[in-house]
Chain A
Amino acid sequence: MKINSRSELVELRKSLSNKITLRESGATTDDTIEILIGMATCGIASGAKDTYNELITVIEDLNLTNVKVISVGCLGYCYMEPTVQVCIPGEEPLLYGKITKDKAFELIEKVIVERVYLSDNLLIRSFDKAGASNE
C-alpha cells in the first residue's frame, strides 16, 4: 500500500487515532482493551515472552474477545520487568511491573475483569513526553 502524498498519510493517521489516544489517556470510541507488554531485550530476558504467551492463553480461556495483547518496546523500568500497560477505554492507562508468567492470570482477573488495582505491582508513569500524536 504505497502512500503518495502527505495528505494521504494524514488521512491514514486520523483513521488510526483511537489506538494512540486509548494508550495515552484512555479516550477512544471503541471497546477494545489493550495490554501492552514491554518486549525489548531487557523485558524478554526477564521473562516477558512467557508472560505474553500466558496472557494470550488466559484471554482465550476466559473468552475475552475484546482484549488484545500487543508487544511494544522498553518502557525504561528495568528494575520492574516484565512491565505491562493496561489500557481500558475511558480510564487512565495503568502500568504494572514484575508481571511474570505466574502473575498473568491475576492481572487479567483483577485489573480487567474485576476492575481493581493489583497492589504491589502498580507503577506510576514517572515521565512526561513529547507529544507526537497531536497536531
Chain B
Amino acid sequence: MNSKYTLLVCDGASCKTTHKANLAAGFKKVIAEKKLGEFVSVVKTGCFGICGQGPIVKVLPDDLLYVSVKQTDIEEIVEEHIKNGNVVKRLLYTDPFTQEPVEKQKGKKIYQKQFRIALRNCGLINPEDITEYIAVRGYEALASVLADKTPIEVVELMKKSKLRGRGGGGFPTGLKWEFTAKQPGNEKYVICNADEGDPGAFMDRSVLEGDPHSVLEAMAIAGYAIGASQGYIYVRAEYPLAIHRLNIAMEQAREYGFLGKNIFSSGFDFDIDIRLGAGAFVCGEETALIHSMEGQRGEPTKKPPFPSVSGFRKKPTSVNNVETFANIPAIVLNGADWFASIGTENSKGTKVFALAGKINNIGLVEVPMGTTLREIIYDIGGGMVNNKEFKAVQSGGPSGGVIPKEHLDTPIDYESLKQIGSMMGSGGLIVLDEDDDIVQLAKFYLDFTQDESCGKCTPCRIGTKRMYEILDRLTKLEGSPDDLDILEDLAVNIKNSALCGLGQSAPNPVLSTMEYFKDEYEAYAYRKVKHTYSIITDKCIGCTKCARVCPVECISGSVKVPHVIDESLCIACGACYTACPVNAIEKP
C-alpha cells in the first residue's frame, strides 16, 4: 500500500446506524488536523460480522482490531497509534475464549460467528471445473472410503458424527443409511432431495450452483455405504443453473472415473441421473417425491413403510437432502469426532440459513448449531433495517412458526426450536419488524399451503382452505371473536389427522403466531384494527414514491400535490409506509 498505515473503518449498516457513528469522516478530520495525511489512509469497509462489538476499526499493517470505537476515541488512536506507534490497549479486540486482548491479529483470525462446512467451497472454486474441486481435496473422501473402509464402517462413521438430516426433519443420517443397508436385496437407491420448496429458501440451490461435486461425491459415498449403484437427484425445473452445473459436473466426474464402473479400481460402480420436478411443495416430501420420480402423481403415502424399506421402485432407498450431502465429504476427511465437536448436545455441526426480511445483511449464513438468534440477527445479520424494533423471526417456512423477542437468546437446534413452537425446517429465516402484521403473515403461509396441498387427505385439502378463509375474513374485518376458537380447533385437528408432513405442519404458522401474538388476532376479531393505510395530507410532499410502489395502484395524486389512498382497495401491505421519505403515511 502507498501509505504507512491503513485504517479499515467499518461502514456496515449496523456500525453506521446503530452507533450513529461516522467514524471514517472523524478519522479523516483528525488526521488532516494533525497533518498525518501522508502516513495513513482511511478506507471504509463492509461489516466484520461482529456488529455487537461495533464500531470496528482495523489497523494495517499491524493487523489488529479496535472494537467499540467511539467518536471520542479517534483522537487517542491517531495520536497514540499512528503518531507514536503505541497500541491503545483498552480498545483492543478480546479473544472470547482466552479473554486476552489480541495485539497481533496475524495468524489468529478474529473469532467469527459463522463457520462454513456445507458452504466451504461456495465462492472459492469454479463449479464448472472439476480440477478446482480436486484442488480442495475433492473426491479424496470417496477415494479413502473405498480404499480403507467397509460399507458398515462408513455407516458407523456417519452415526458417530451424529449428522442429522438438513431437509427439515433432523433424522440421523447414519441411522437412515443403516436401515437401508440392512434391507435384503441388491437393488437399492440413493436419492438427493433438491426440491427446496420453502418460499424464501435458497440454501440448496446455492450449494448445487457453487459446489455440485461435493453432492455427487457424497452420493457415491452413500451408495457405497448402503449398497446402491444408482443415485438420482430430484431437482425442481425452476433451478436451471443448478441443473446445468450438475450436468457438467456429472460429465466431468465420469471422465475422471469418479462416477461409472469400477471407481478407483475398487470394483464399486455408481452413477447418477437427474430427475426434474415441476416445483410442487409436496414433492419435497420423500414419499411424494418418489411417486413423482416413478411417473405417478406427486402424492404422499402413509409411512411406514419408510423409503429405506420400500422406496423408489419399491426398493430400499435413502433420501437425503442436498445440504446433508454437502457435509459428508468434510466429515470423512476431518473425522467424525471433529464434526461431533461442533454444535450442541443433540444437534451437531452447522446449519445454513437464508436470512431475509427487515435485516441489513441479507444473505446466506452458516453457523454452528447452538448459535442464538440474537447472534445471527445482530452480529452476522448486521441488525434491523433502519434500526427498527425487532418483532419476530419466521423460521421453517410454511411448516414452521415465529420466534418472538423473548426467545432471541435461545440457542438454535432441532429440539429448542420445536420447544418454542417453530422448527428448523430447511433454513429460511425471515426477520420481521414492528411494522409487520403477524396475522397477514399467517394468512400468507396458509394461502401457500392450501394452494400446495395435494388434496389426497380431507384434513389438509379442506381444513387448510377453511383456515385460510377464516384468516381472510379476519383481516378484512368481517370476522368475529368466535372465529379465533374455530381457527385454533381446526388447527389442532388438522395437525393430528393429516396424512403427511405438509398437512401436519401447515397449521404451525397459525398456532405459533396465536400463541405469541394473540392480541393482534383479537384486534382483528373485535375489529379494532383500522384496516388500511392512509396519508396525512399535511405532511405529504407529493413525491409520488408511495404511488409508484403500491402493488394494487390504489394511491393517486399529482406531483407535488398531497396523495390519497383509496381505502376500499388498500390491501395493507405497508409498501407505501416503507417508501415514504417524510413519514406522511399512517399505519392501520
A82-135 contacts to B (CB < 8 Å):
83, 85, 95, 97, 115-117, 119-120, 122-124, 126-130, 132-133, 135
Known A5-B265, A129-B116: A73·B122 in contact at CB below 8 Å: yes
CA distance A4 to B120 in the complex (A): 26
Interface of A toward B, CB cutoff 8 Å: 1-6, 9-10, 12-13, 16-17, 19-20, 23-24, 36, 38, 40-42, 44, 70-80, 83, 85, 95, 97, 115-117, 119-120, 122-124, 126-130, 132-133, 135
Contacting residues, chain B, for A130 (C-beta < 8 A): 115-117, 120, 330, 334
Contacting residues, chain B, for A79 (C-beta < 8 A): 360-363
Do residues B127 and A72 form an inter-chain contact, with CB atoms below 8 A?
Answer: yes
Contact partner of A3 (CB less than 8 A), chosen from B202, B257, B364, is B257
CA distance A12 to B140 in the complex (A): 11
CA distance A42 to B206 in the complex (A): 9
**Min CB gap A36→B, angstroms:** 7
B464 in the interface (beta carbon within 8 A) = no
Do residues B143 and A74 form an inter-chain contact, with CB atoms below 8 A?
Answer: no
Interface of B toward A, CB cutoff 8 Å: 1-2, 6, 8, 10-11, 41-50, 58, 109, 112, 114-117, 119-128, 131-132, 134-140, 143-144, 146-147, 202, 205-206, 209-211, 239, 241-242, 255-258, 264-265, 329-330, 333-334, 360-366, 380
Do residues B361 and A19 form an inter-chain contact, with CB atoms below 8 A?
Answer: no
Known A79-B362, A132-B136: A41·B334 in contact at CB below 8 Å: no
Do residues B123 and A73 form an inter-chain contact, with CB atoms below 8 A?
Answer: yes
CA distance A92 to B577 in the complex (A): 43
CA distance A83 to B117 in the complex (A): 21
Query: Taking CB as reference atom, which chain B residue is nearest A83?
Result: B123
CA distance A6 to B147 in the complex (A): 8
**Min CB gap B27→A, angstroms:** 12
Query: Taking CB as reference atom, which chain A residue is nearest B266?
Result: A5
Contacting residues, chain B, for A17 (C-beta < 8 A): 135
A-B contact pairs, 10 of them (CB 8 A): A6-B144, A19-B132, A20-B132, A74-B209, A76-B122, A79-B361, A97-B46, A128-B112, A130-B117, A132-B136
List 5 A-B pairs, minimum CB-CB distance, nearest first.
Answer: A73-B210, A126-B49, A127-B114, A75-B123, A2-B257
Do residues A128 and B116 form an inter-chain contact, with CB atoms below 8 A?
Answer: yes
Contact partner of A42 (CB less than 8 A), chosen from B11, B44, B202, B257, is B202
Do residues B209 and A126 form an inter-chain contact, with CB atoms below 8 A?
Answer: no
Query: Taking CB as reference atom, which chain A residue is nearest B382?
Result: A79
CA distance A61 to B353 in the complex (A): 41
Contact partner of A76 (CB less than 8 A), chosen from B131, B265, B365, is B365
**Min CB gap A111→B, angstroms:** 11
**Min CB gap B466→A, angstroms:** 36
Do residues B45 and A122 form an inter-chain contact, with CB atoms below 8 A?
Answer: yes
CA distance A75 to B380 in the complex (A): 14
CA distance A130 to B264 in the complex (A): 25
Do residues A4 and B116 form an inter-chain contact, with CB atoms below 8 A?
Answer: no
Contacting residues, chain A, for B132 (C-beta < 8 A): 16, 19-20
Query: Taking CB as reference atom, which chain B residue is nearest A91?
Result: B1
Do residues A117 and B126 form an inter-chain contact, with CB atoms below 8 A?
Answer: no
Contacting residues, chain A, for B364 (C-beta < 8 A): 74, 76, 78
A73-B121, A120-B11, A127-B365 known, 9 other contacts, Cβ within 8 Å: A9-B264, A72-B122, A72-B127, A73-B210, A74-B123, A75-B123, A77-B363, A127-B114, A127-B116
Known A9-B139, A74-B364: A122·B43 in contact at CB below 8 Å: yes
Do residues A41 and B43 form an inter-chain contact, with CB atoms below 8 A?
Answer: no
Query: Taking CB as reference atom, which chain B residue is nearest A78?
Result: B363
Interface centre among B119, B123, B134, B265 (most CB of A within 10 A): B123
CA distance A122 to B9 in the complex (A): 10
CA distance A130 to B364 in the complex (A): 16
**Min CB gap B449→A, angstroms:** 25
Contact partner of B209 (CB less than 8 A), chosen from A3, A19, A73, A135, is A73
Contact partner of B264 (CB less than 8 A), chosen from A4, A19, A23, is A4
Contacting residues, chain A, for B380 (C-beta < 8 A): 126
Contacting residues, chain B, for A12 (C-beta < 8 A): 131, 134
Known A19-B132, A41-B241, A85-B123: A124·B209 in contact at CB below 8 Å: no
Contact partner of B205 (CB less than 8 A), chosen from A23, A41, A132, is A41
**Min CB gap B540→A, angstroms:** 30
Do residues A126 and B134 form an inter-chain contact, with CB atoms below 8 A?
Answer: no
Do residues B112 and A127 form an inter-chain contact, with CB atoms below 8 A?
Answer: yes
CA distance A132 to B147 in the complex (A): 19
Contacting residues, chain A, for B242 (C-beta < 8 A): 41
Do residues B256 and A72 form an inter-chain contact, with CB atoms below 8 A?
Answer: no
Known A75-B123, A128-B116: A133·B256 in contact at CB below 8 Å: no
Known A79-B363, A126-B49: A74·B122 in contact at CB below 8 Å: yes
Known A2-B257, A3-B256, A79-B361: A133·B135 in contact at CB below 8 Å: yes
Do residues B241 and A40 form an inter-chain contact, with CB atoms below 8 A?
Answer: yes
Known A6-B264, A41-B205, A77-B361: A116·B2 in contact at CB below 8 Å: yes
Do residues B114 and A128 form an inter-chain contact, with CB atoms below 8 A?
Answer: yes
Known A40-B209, A123-B45, A124-B47: A76·B123 in contact at CB below 8 Å: yes
Query: Taking CB as reference atom, which chain B residue is nearest A133?
Result: B136
Do residues A44 and B241 form an inter-chain contact, with CB atoms below 8 A?
Answer: yes
Do residues A16 and B134 form an inter-chain contact, with CB atoms below 8 A?
Answer: yes
**Min CB gap A6→B, angstroms:** 4
Contact partner of B43 (CB less than 8 A), chosen from A71, A119, A135, is A119
Contacting residues, chain B, for A95 (C-beta < 8 A): 46
CA distance A36 to B119 in the complex (A): 16
Contact partner of A127 (CB less than 8 A), chosen from B2, B46, B115, B136, is B115
**Min CB gap B65→A, angstroms:** 10
Contacting residues, chain A, for B119 (C-beta < 8 A): 76, 129
Do residues A41 and B209 form an inter-chain contact, with CB atoms below 8 A?
Answer: yes
Do residues A9 and B140 form an inter-chain contact, with CB atoms below 8 A?
Answer: yes
**Min CB gap A112→B, angstroms:** 14
**Min CB gap A82→B, angstroms:** 12
**Min CB gap B359→A, angstroms:** 9
Contacting residues, chain A, for B6 (C-beta < 8 A): 117
Do residues B265 and A36 form an inter-chain contact, with CB atoms below 8 A?
Answer: no
CA distance A20 to B333 in the complex (A): 17
Contacting residues, chain A, for B333 (C-beta < 8 A): 132
**Min CB gap A132→B, angstroms:** 5
